[in-house]
Amino acid sequence: MRRDDGGGDCIRQAACVGAVLIGSTGGALAQQSVFDTGANALVTWGLTIATPVAVLVVIVVGAAAAIGKISWGWVIGAVIGIAVIFGSEQLVTWVRGLFGV
């Protein structure tokens, strides 16, 4: 004879279904966002274009300063600006580390 335990089987079944559903979402949550993928592709493309442009800027500004057309401050500013642009990822990581974010 079977005894009625007040719906214990139903609770066990619901718990099993819940465990299966929670376990099956792990793969979906681990996927990378479409926006992250697009942003990374855009940054990579931008750095690919910016690298030869930065080299040409350093050459032109350095030559202009060497012949006295502009001051050397512009050369220093251009080099610092290029370093900030290409080192932005490291700078963001460093600042986030300072503030514990």
- Is there a domain that residue 3 lies in? no
CA distances from 21 to 13, 16, 27, 30, 95 (A): 12, 9, 11, 15, 39
3-class DSSP state for residue 101? coil
List the pLDDT tens digit at each of the 101 positions of the chain: 555 555 556 566 655 555 555 555 555 555 778 888 888 888 889 889 989 999 999 999 999 999 999 999 999 999 999 999 888 888 888 999 999 87
Query: For residue 86, what are the domain limits?
Result: 34-99
Number of structural domains in the chain: 1
**Residue 74 in domain:** yes
pLDDT tens track for 37-55: 888 888 889 889 989 999 9
Residue 27 lies inside a defined structural domain of this protein = no
In a domain, 22, yes or no: no
Write out the two tokens for 35: 């926006």
Residue 9 lies in a domain: no
Q: Identify the CA nearest to 72 among candidates 58, 56, 54.
A: 58
Global pTM reads 0.55
